[in-house]
């Protein structure tokens, strides 16, 4: 029921605004006796960190995480883990110009209508800066999965489309993902995306993207029908990331165009194990994991805050042309990749503990 | 935390299997003093009811709902409303042939891996028969919305694609929706769909669909960031419907291909009111409703239970060709239209009460 | 967040009013593959059933429970178990006299102030009849405990005080509990209680009671600090039973008068196991079970509905003398014994599953 | 479901250990536009702060609270409020002697059995230091109550019994409470308590207490039957405070000894308003507030950590005499008074918002 908590047995609660003193989260329900230190969390935060290439916001944040509780002598104690990340590079005055303006396509307007008050500095609570907390919680979720299962679950993400430029899936190479600033699994498209993004930036515009995140090594049986389905929780997890407008599992929307024979993943016994001959299900049937790879895609809209003037209104009810000057990602989808991975990790960790609770 | 409950302040909990004696749900948190009788619920159930055309399953269920509690002298009392729908036309013996078989693409297998026990009769708990409870809860949610807001919220759904045949949106006519067995808003495509579906049925196959559900008259301010976002809850609501593989809000996946200028819905003051010049956001920004129409689409995969034999396995770990004989919808997406409407209604009712709780 | 659900992983939701067609509950989160039939539940309901002696209400209810879902071929499936108990002996006209009156000490008035509508027939939702659902859920909880632990947890209750007449604890004999209509563990006090209760009835009055419920065989480690403490959940469970005004664990209020040396239960190793030299803690330290017997007591106020006229008011705001004619227990505490046992069982089952979820 | 969160719509989540760098909490669900600063919270923390008289622990903590989020330009924004209190006076080496020992009556043992790991420094997470977070959350709850109701709810607490020395209720004077180090409403008993406590301290012992907390100005209608009853939530709230072993509402356990006529609070119309002629109900009937004062009492056991050696065991399973050297309150009940007030405030705030959500 809490508005700022996610998950049930493995549960995190985030707090903080873009231009406050700090952001952070509490991760609750973590099993005890898992080795954990800041060094387990920091690398994942570093992947999401802004300012690492010319293609992301130039805000400079070191995003150093501190563990304030829940860990004793290098191990989790089963009590809540409080994580804190200080904000370092706020430039609130960038926002004084739009203090009374609502940017079209932005949460400015809806926060105002809902709460009657708005922290206009950098988007306040609606800023994507909050996703650093998700990434930190996701790092702990990965540790939980490995600890409980006895082997790591491989959770990876990639950008599969930028603007209208989609990758060629036949060239998919996970190794490539870490070798370009876009998390592209298709090395050949990188130059196209660079050119596209430079053009977008120069035009004072922005562009959208599609991200795919996958998990390998997930045991069958996770997810609890009817209202704790794994795919439903994943849909909420991804749709709740800033700027996301669509989520699909496995074949997703394309499944609508398939025949029953094409779509249903056939099964065979191979060496005494169940093998699927395809994965249109994206690893989930009836809301429960099948043991195949979990495959989730989500669409990120183009950043709403752009320098190009757009028609907006003010708090006082006047028409205005809004041009946003702050530092923004021209393609917020890029930095959503590690966030999507993190959300996949937390959903899986929660469902693993819930499944263990009910089914042993 | 409950596996079979949905929502928070407005919350329903469903129970029952395809071939048990009955199904039903408890609807909790309903405001008191709302006029309510079975006659307010039955028409919505009738829309979802099977056997109404040759294009849906021939199982004959009258789906008569009974209110067992929570209503006194024609009004809600604020206490839980228990609804019961008897199962009438079970033919469990249809399923004896697949008692030990796992149908490819079906939840048979995952229920078995999760629980180690499986009610094989008609899919048991995984059957789409459960969605009757959702529709009943949705009918009450509509009453709640109207009661609290003082005016009805118009919640409507339509099939916008069957197989690979999408409607022409320029021909959209809500009146048409009630005049064909497919809930198509495009009268011109009905003949195409009929032919497609007859072909599918004769081929022993099945086909997928895309459904669009919308809500007009939703006030701005509903939805609570960060983890109670309206779009995240809608995504979970729709993805949790049987056979759904994708969900999108507003422009959805197409937003990835738009520029920032195209995507962000511009705003103007018109007659003292805020007007949006487009609705790519689908009525939601930052997880909060804008006051525009809420627009949600979801993709339904083709029915997995088909007469055409497919490669599957048995409980005993043997390869087998599975051909399903029971009565099934060749396009389960058709009957998902009223279910999608219902889920939209319950999410809105819950968020309306939650918003009133926090913000008054 | 649901108003009518109790528990988290093991969770039940009740519905129904005293004079509606039926009452019932949904029990969710039950582990799969537990043998279960109505015969496992009925004996516990029979213990709570009214009309079994001249000392309880003369309402005649057979309280036959039906399982409507969640059980297949004699075993739980892991899906929600719906239980239904029909109401048989409603005499709503008994209540027409107090239709517009608020009985002092009764929930009549508060339901009216909260909801603005009131089902006056037999107390409606506020009736202790609802506790039959708790007892049914408790029966399933007992099965869960035994199934998961591999050995039954012994959960028992007794009346330890009626009016001002407390038992002599030195005469405690669990065997006696089943041999008198009061669940007294002290056979010697039964005659006193009979005389007291006959006097109370003849005087048109009612009397209170104190109940003690215990659980043996509870493993150490159940309960989750800080806000999922076992004793906190037990306190809520017992205080929520109709007419309960106090709850204590172990030494309870008497602990306030003890010294630190007297109160703290000393520990010794005995045959390689931890032994406690006393049990002032009632089996719970820091909100977590110690492995000792769980000991909970709760106080039940005298029934508010009495034939003796008392000063009350009407809906219309007039002073009135209220005399209740319906059939009521002169000491509602007697029938609270099996209810207290049931609530102890459900709290333990929930915490066992939650503990298994987090800690394995 | 979260283990470290309390409440539903008004919800707080705490973190931190006695000897970690800091403790704190997140308060979620706070209505927007409430004036709030540290100055609104600090006075309540100062009341709970240790080291203010010779009768409490000599640990020196300034307990300065910092607001890290959720407040903008002096007003709540509706987003989560993160509060942080640094630990200043840890003396972990005090605890090295008992590193491997389990103190009788202490949570040492149960944390170990549950989690298999234990932060032995000052009790770790089980320390009463955590209650500072509750007091901070309670301060915000008071603001919420006043803001929503338009008038403050008066929430007060007092110590009504220390050891076996109970106050004379006929001398009750709220003004006296602030004028002695024990929060006694009976000035005449203060000398007795001083002597008692000095004796206890010199004997290396400790003593228990009973606290009473009340709320005036609570509107009728708060609390939601059947499993969201106001008294059930209060019972959980108080029983969950460190060292509490019993909770009662209104007449509490004494109600068991009353007759129906004595116990039921009669009602009269007075100047057009409902008046009750007594308050045995403690302001709650059927789990819903009546509008009378809410009256809750709870019993606190004597501190388990005492210098007098007691029989305990070690992690290694050896018998040992445990004598605790750290700085402890000889009567932890004294500092529980502001904690009980805070828990009463948070329960009321949560129920007020929940009631507004369902009933408007």
Note the pLDDT tens digit of each residue in D144-185: 999 999 999 999 999 999 999 999 999 999 999 999 999 999
Chain A residues touching residue C78 (CB < 8 angstroms): 358-359
Least reliable range by pLDDT among A82-91, D262-271, D289-298, D350-359:
A82-91
CB contact under 8 A, C302 and D4: no
Tell me, yes or no, if B359 comes closer than 8 A to chain D by beta carbon.
yes
At A54 the pLDDT is 79
Sheet of D5-7, strand order:
D5-7, D11-16, D22-28, D81-86, D65-67
pLDDT at A52 over 90: no
DSSP code at position B218: P
Residue-level pLDDT at C1: 60
Q: Residue B360: which of D8, D356, D359 has the nearest Cβ?
A: D356
Closest residue to A310, CB basis, from B114, B250, B261 = B261
Name the least confident of A333-347, B49-63, D296-310, D346-360.
B49-63
Q: Convert the pLDDT of each residue in B247-305 to its tens digit.
A: 999 999 999 999 999 999 999 999 999 999 999 999 999 999 999 999 999 999 999 99
B232 inside 8 A of chain A by CB:
yes
C351: contact with B, CB 8 A cutoff: no
The per-residue pLDDT for D52 is 76
Strand order of the β-sheet with C154-162 is C165-166, C154-162, C209-216, C294-300, C244-249, D244-249, D294-300, D209-216, D154-162, D165-166
Residue A285's φ and ψ, nearest 5 degrees, are -130, 130
CB contact under 8 A, C357 and A79: no
Residues B28-76 pLDDT 10s = 999 999 999 999 999 999 988 877 777 887 778 889 999 999 999 999 9
Instruction: For residue D314, count other CB atoms closer than 10 A to its CB.
Output: 15
Strands (E), A239-345: 244-249, 267-270, 273-276, 284-285, 288-289, 294-300, 310-314, 319-322
The chain-wide mean pLDDT, for chain C, equals 95
CA proximity to D100, closest of D305, D314, D309: D314
Interface contact A5, partner B, CB < 8 A: yes
Q: Is D92 on the interface with A (CB under 8 A)?
A: no
* A69 Cβ under 8 Å from any chain D Cβ: yes
**pLDDT at res. D324:** 86
User: Angle at Cα C286 formed by Cα C280 and Cα C289, nearest 5°?
Assistant: 70
List of chain D residues whose C-beta atoms are within 8 Å of the C-beta of residue B8: 8
List of residues 6+ apart from C191 with CB closer than 8 A: none
Within an 8 Å CB–CB cutoff, is residue D321 touching chain C? no
Distance from CA of A62 to the nearest CA of D (A): 19
8 A C-beta contact, residue D267 and residue C112? no
D259 touches chain C (CB under 8 A): yes
pLDDT at position B140, please?
A: 98
pLDDT tens digits, C80-132: 999 999 998 877 677 777 889 999 999 999 999 999 998 988 889 999 999 99
Chain A residues near residue D76 by CB distance under 8 angstroms: 117
Mean of the per-residue pLDDT values for chain A? 95
CA end-to-end span of chain D? 26
D95-100 long-range contacts, Cβ below 8 Å, gap at least 24? D95/D19, D95/D120, D95/D121, D95/D122, D95/D326, D97/D325, D98/D322, D98/D324, D100/D314, D100/D315, D100/D316
What's residue D30's pLDDT? 98
Helix (H, G, I), strand (E, B) or coil at C298: strand
Evaluate whether C123 touches C18 at the Cβ level (below 8 Å). yes
pLDDT digit string, tens, across residues A144-184: 999 999 999 999 999 999 999 999 999 999 999 999 999 99
Task: Tell me what pLDDT residue B149 has.
Answer: 98
- Predicted local distance difference test score (pLDDT) of residue A245: 98
Q: Which residue of D has its CA nearest to A16?
A: D69
Q: Would you call A5 helix, strand, or coil by DSSP?
A: strand
Give me the pLDDT at residue D257, please. Answer: 97
The pLDDT value recorded for residue D5 is 98
CB–CB of C121/B74 below 8 Å?
Answer: no
Among the partner residues B29, B32, B357, nearest to D356 by beta-carbon distance: B357
pLDDT confidence tier of residue D1, bands split at 50, 70 and 90: low
B-chain residues near A264 (CB < 8 A) = 103-106, 302, 304, 306, 310
Average pLDDT estimate for B158-184: 97
Per-residue pLDDT band at D58 (split at 50, 70, 90)? confident
At residue B303, the pLDDT reads 94
Judge whether residue A122 has pLDDT over 90: no
D148:B360 CB<8 A: yes
Facing D259 at nearest CB: one of C102, C302, C354: C302
D43 touches chain C (CB under 8 A): no
Chains touching A (at least 3 CB pairs under 8 A) are B, C, D
B182 close to A (CB below 8 A): no
Across the interface, whether the CB atoms of D28 and A22 are under 8 A apart is answered no
Q: Which residue has the tokens 């209060």?
A: D234
What is the reported pLDDT for A60? 81
State the number of CA atoms in the 13 A half-sphere of B156 facing the CB: 17
Cβ-based contacts of D2 with chain A (< 8 Å) = 2, 5, 8, 11, 13, 28-29
Name the residue among D16, D69, D125 with its Cβ closest to that of A68: D16
A&B contacts, CB < 8 Å? 390
Closest residue of A to D72, CA-based?
Answer: A119
A148 vs C360: CB contact, 8 Å cut-off? yes
Lowest mean pLDDT among C252-256, D85-89, D252-256: D85-89
pLDDT for B357? 98
Q: Within chain A, where are the H helices?
A: 38-48, 108-115, 131-149, 174-177, 190-202, 230-239, 260-263, 332-359
pLDDT of residue C16: 97
Of D8, D68, D79, the CB nearest to A21: D68
Instruction: Express each pLDDT in C34-62 by its tens digit.
Output: 999 999 999 999 988 877 777 887 778 88
Which residue is associated with the tokens 């070690």? Answer: D314
The token pair at B296 is 């949600």
| Total Cβ atoms within 10 A of residue C300 | 31
Task: Find the Cα–Cα–Cα–Cα dihedral A315, A317, A320, A325, rounded to 10°.
Answer: 10
For the cut 90, the answer to whether the pLDDT of residue D329 exceeds it is no
Round to whole Å and give the CA distance between A267 and A274: 7
Mutate to test the interface with A, among B98, B260, B304 (most CBs of A within 10 A): B260
Q: Chains with ≥3 Cβ pairs under 8 A against D? A: A, B, C
Interface test with B, best of D3, D357, D359, D360 (most B CBs within 10 A): D357
Interchain CB distance below 8 Å, A357 and C356: yes
Q: Which of C12, C284, C265 is nearest to C141 (CA)?
A: C12
Phi/psi for D223 (5° steps) reads: 110, 140
Q: How near does any CA of chain A get to the CA of D95, in Å?
A: 15
Report chain A residues whose CB lies below 8 A from the CB of B107.
Answer: 225, 285-288
Q: Which residues of C touch B72 (CB under 8 A)?
A: 17, 117-119, 124
| B118-132, B136-150, C83-97: least confidently modelled range | C83-97
Is the minimum CB–CB distance between D78 and chain A shorter than 8 Å?
Answer: yes
Yes or no: say if D75 and D32 are a contact pair by the CB < 8 Å rule. Answer: yes
A109 touches chain B (CB under 8 A): yes
DSSP state of B31: P
Q: Is B4 on the interface with C (CB under 8 A)?
A: yes
Question: What ranges make up the beta strands (E) of chain D?
Answer: 5-7, 11-16, 22-28, 65-67, 71-72, 75-76, 81-86, 101-102, 154-162, 165-166, 209-216, 244-249, 267-270, 273-276, 284-285, 288-289, 294-300, 310-314, 319-322
Q: pTM of the prediction?
A: 0.98
Tell me the two tokens of residue C58.
């003369």
- Please compute the mean of the pLDDT values over residues B308-320 and round it to a whole number: 95
Task: Sort out which chain A residues have CB atoms less than 8 A from D117's CB and list them.
Answer: 32-33, 72, 75-78
**Inter-chain CB proximity C246 and D253 less than 8 Å:** yes
């Amino acid at each position: 029921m809490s508005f700022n908590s996610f998950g049930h047995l493995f549960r995190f609660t985030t707090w903080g605004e873009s231009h406050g003193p700090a952001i952070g989260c509490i991760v609750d329900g973590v099993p005890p006796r898992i080795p954990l230190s800041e060094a387990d969390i920091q690398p994942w935060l570093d992947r999401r960190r802004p300012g690492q290439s010319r293609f992301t916001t130039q805000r400079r944040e070191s995003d150093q995480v501190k563990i304030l509780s829940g860990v004793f002598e290098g191990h989790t104690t089963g009590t809540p883990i409080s994580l804190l990340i200080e904000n370092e590079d706020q430039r609130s005055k960038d926002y004084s110009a739009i203090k009374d303006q609502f940017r079209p396509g932005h949460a400015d307007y809806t926060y105002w209508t809902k709460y009657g008050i708005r922290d206009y500095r950098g988007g306040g609570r609606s800023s994507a800066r909050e996703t650093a907390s998700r990434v930190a919680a996701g790092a702990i979720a990965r540790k939980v999965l490995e600890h409980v299962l006895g082997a790591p679950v491989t959770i990876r993400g990639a950008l599969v489309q930028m603007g209208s430029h989609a990758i060629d899936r036949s060239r998919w190479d996970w190794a490539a993902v870490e070798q370009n600033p876009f998390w592209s699994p298709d090395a050949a498209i990188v130059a196209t995306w660079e050119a596209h993004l430079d053009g977008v930036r120069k035009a004072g515009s922005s562009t959208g993207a599609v991200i795919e995140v996958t998990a390998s090594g997930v045991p069958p049986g996770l997810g609890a029908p009817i209202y704790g389905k794994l795919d439903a929780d994943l849909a909420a997890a991804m749709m709740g990331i800033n700027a996301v407008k669509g989520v699909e599992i496995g074949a997703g929307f394309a499944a609508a165009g398939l025949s029953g024979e094409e779509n249903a993943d056939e099964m065979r016994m191979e060496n005494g194990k169940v093998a699927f001959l395809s994965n249109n299900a994206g690893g989930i049937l009836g809301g429960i994991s099948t043991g195949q790879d979990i495959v989730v895609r989500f669409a990120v809209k183009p950043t709403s805050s752009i320098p190009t003037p757009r028609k907006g209104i003010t708090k006082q009810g006047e028409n205005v042309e809004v041009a946003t000057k702050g530092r923004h990602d021209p393609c917020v989808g890029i930095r959503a990749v590690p966030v999507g991975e993190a959300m996949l990790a937390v959903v899986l960790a929660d469902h693993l503990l819930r499944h263990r609770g009910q089914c042993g």
